[in-house]
């Protein structure tokens, strides 16, 4: 395949690549499209019509599924931008509501815009009182991600006035409702598992403070949110808010491409995030560190991670896009020290173990050659555990943060003039057509 300048249109030279079928000798030209930053893309939309061939890319390692203006990742240089702003700047200077506004609207809010957005979100944090009863249908020991999937999907049975995806106003109402209610849904999943009563959102608290209050307050006494912990949680929500076309975001887009209602699409995203290779990794990291137990067992587990015959992988390490340090992991590590210091947990054994594991792995040729670095999930679990959040709730917190990213991507997909239902093709290797054999002739 060669990259040729098309000389037929002198006015606006259109870049293209040519594809030669070495069997027939036919040559095909495909347009080469450029974004604002990042790799160019070969526009293969005409490929099947022109060649009769499909592409083949399980896991979409080389496939762009859409055009987007929301998030950009440069995996080789460890860069993550949200609407052009570096994640480090947002984590240091912004808060989660500001970041949510940026993801949704495309620009940082003015003071007035931020105040209105926060007020609008704050006043949608309560759930319809009947949704209470959904929780009672679950076992107390149900995984909270199962509850999140169920309750988020069930919202479509309650909010009939925000299901019409062709109406921008209804899309925004549904968007605000989900951003506002997902912390309540999450905290109530935790309370239900403990047998404690649900705590209602408090309109005088900010997003992170409200979540901590609903998680840890009880009706029996006043609960004071630790401001250092709340700020750390707010920053962690920023770090998890959006991340290009990851598995769960692609799930939301694919569900939305069929016209499914917004609550069902976000419930699908929650289900995809649950997997240990994706958002479930933070829970898996804590379980892995607990299993490793001590520094002297690190070599044993690194050997298992490198053994092709052992399914064990070093959880919290590696990434499809980052072949350098995940910039979120660096901020997460700094936040981890900050929270543990605040809570008097400096020297926490799991943190010490995680830091030693990271040090050894980053010096190990296997990890160096395969460019496996800590990702966003490597330190988050240690912080959540220090905050008193149970391991089963770690991925739930990821879902709370990612909801705004899913929603921003879903809205962008709906508004995309090129949008159509997602329907991939395949390489079929099953039987060609064959004759049916009646049961009595099969012996
Ligand atoms: C998230 O996509 C996103 O952006 C996701 C996310 C987001 O914000 O949405 O960033 C959040 O999901 C972070 C990733 C969390 N998952 C984990 O920490 C689980 C452990 N990591 C691996 O499962 C893996 O690294 C993935 C799933 C994250 C990425 O897998 P890829 O891109 O399919 O890479 P791969 O499996 O092809 O690995 C390449 C090589 C393989 O060896 P070879 O076949 O080439 O010999 O690296 C090896 C893998 O065996 N490898 C690992 C490893 N990760 C990859 N070996 C040991 N331990 C690991 N963690």
**Ligand 1 pocket check for 327: Cβ under 6 Å:** no
For ligand 1, atom 3, name the residue with the nearest CA. 246
* Most informative mutation of 319, 374, 394 for ligand 1 (most atoms within 8 A of CB): 319
Please compute, for residue 371, the number of CA atoms within 13 A of its CA located in the half-sphere on the CB side.
12
CB 199 within 8 A of CB 218: yes
> Is 143 tagged catalytic?
no
Q: Which residues of 257-269 are buried (b: 16+ CB within 10 A; e: fewer)?
A: beebbbbbbbbbb
> Is 440 tagged catalytic?
no
Calculate Rg over the CA atoms of the chain. Answer: 24
* The token pair that represents 346 in the structure block: 């400096």
**Ligand 1 pocket check for 410: Cβ under 6 Å:** no
6 phi, psi to nearest 5 deg:
-80, 115
User: 373 CA distance to ligand 1 centroid (A)?
Assistant: 10
pTM of the model: 0.94
Among the listed residues 240, 242, 319, 326, the single catalytic one is: 319
User: 362 CA distance to ligand 1 centroid (A)?
Assistant: 15
CB 109 within 8 A of CB 101: yes
Relative to the CA of 246, which ligand 1 atom is closest? Answer: 2
Question: Which ranges of 203-294 would DSSP assign to H, the alpha helix?
Answer: 207-216, 227-239, 247-257, 262-273, 281-292
**Ligand 1 pocket check for 332: Cβ under 6 Å:** no
User: 54 CA distance to ligand 1 centroid (A)?
Assistant: 26
Question: What does each of the 443 residues of the chain score in pLDDT, given as a tens digit?
Answer: 455 444 444 445 589 999 999 999 999 999 999 999 999 999 999 999 999 999 999 999 999 999 999 999 999 999 999 999 999 999 999 999 999 999 999 999 999 999 999 999 999 999 999 999 999 999 999 999 999 999 999 999 999 999 999 999 999 999 999 999 999 999 999 999 999 999 999 999 999 999 999 999 999 999 999 999 999 999 999 999 999 999 999 999 999 999 999 999 999 999 999 999 999 999 999 999 999 999 999 999 999 999 999 999 999 999 999 998 899 999 999 999 999 999 999 888 998 999 999 999 999 999 999 999 999 999 999 999 999 999 999 999 999 999 999 999 999 999 999 889 999 999 999 999 999 999 999 98
Max CA-CA distance within the chain? 80
* The token pair that represents 271 in the structure block: 């289900």
**Ligand 1 pocket check for 62: Cβ under 6 Å:** no
User: 406 CA distance to ligand 1 centroid (A)?
Assistant: 21
Count other Cβ atoms within 10 Å, centred on residue 402.
Answer: 27
CB 336 within 8 A of CB 355: no
For ligand 1, atom 24, name the residue with the nearest CA. 318
Q: Is the Cα dihedral 274, 91, 391, 314 positive or negative?
A: positive
- The gap from C-alpha 205 to its chain's centroid, in whole angstroms, comes to 26
Query: For residues 82, 88, 94 and 96, what is the CA-based torsion angle, rounded to 10 degrees?
Result: 60
Q: What is the 8-class DSSP label of residue 366?
A: H
């Amino acid at each position: 395949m060669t990259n040729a300048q098309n000389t037929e249109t002198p006015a606006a030279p259109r870049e293209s690549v040519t594809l030669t079928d070495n069997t027939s000798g036919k040559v095909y030209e495909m347009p080469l499209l450029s974004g604002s930053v990042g790799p160019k893309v070969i526009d293969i939309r005409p490929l099947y019509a022109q060649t009769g061939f499909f592409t083949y890319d399980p896991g979409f390692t080389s496939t762009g599924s859409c055009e987007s203006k929301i998030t950009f990742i440069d995996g080789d240089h460890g860069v993550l931008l949200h609407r052009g702003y570096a994640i480090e700047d947002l984590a240091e200077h912004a808060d989660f509501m500001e970041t949510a506004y940026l993801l949704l609207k495309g620009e940082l809010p003015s003071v007035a815009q931020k105040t209105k957005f926060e007020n609008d979100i704050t006043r949608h944090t309560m759930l319809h009182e009947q949704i209470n009863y959904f929780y009672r249908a679950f076992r107390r020991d149900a995984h909270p991600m199962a509850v999140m999937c169920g309750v988020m999907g069930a919202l479509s049975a309650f909010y009939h006035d925000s299901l019409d995806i062709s109406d921008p106003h209804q899309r925004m109402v549904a968007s605000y409702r989900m951003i506002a209610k997902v912390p309540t849904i999450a905290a109530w999943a935790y309370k239900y598992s403990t047998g404690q009563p649900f705590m209602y959102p408090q309109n005088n608290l900010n997003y992170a403070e409200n979540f901590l209050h609903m998680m840890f307050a009880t009706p029996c006494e006043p609960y004071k949110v630790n401001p250092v912990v709340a700020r750390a949680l707010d920053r962690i929500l920023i770090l998890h808010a959006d991340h290009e076309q990851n598995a769960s975001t692609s799930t939301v887009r694919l569900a939305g491409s069929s016209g499914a209602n917004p609550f069902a699409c976000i419930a699908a995203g929650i289900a995809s995030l649950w997997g240990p290779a994706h958002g479930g990794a933070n829970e898996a990291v804590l379980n892995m560190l607990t299993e490793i137990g001590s520094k002297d067992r690190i070599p044993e587990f690194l050997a298992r991670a490198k053994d092709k015959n052992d399914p064990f992988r070093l959880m919290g390490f590696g990434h499809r896009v980052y072949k350098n340090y995940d910039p979120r992991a660096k901020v997460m590590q700094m936040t981890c020290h900050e929270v543990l210091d605040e809570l008097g947990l400096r020297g926490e054994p799991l943190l010490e173990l995680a830091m030693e594991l990271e040090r050894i792995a980053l010096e190990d040729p296997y990890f160096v050659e395969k460019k496996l670095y800590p990702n966003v999930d490597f330190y988050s679990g240690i912080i959540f555990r220090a905050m008193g959040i149970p391991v089963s709730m770690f991925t739930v917190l990821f879902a709370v943060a990612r909801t705004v990213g899913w929603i921003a991507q879903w809205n962008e997909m709906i508004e995309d003039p090129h949008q159509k239902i997602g329907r991939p093709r395949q390489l079929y290797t099953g039987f060609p057509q064959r004759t049916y054999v009646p049961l009595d002739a099969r012996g």
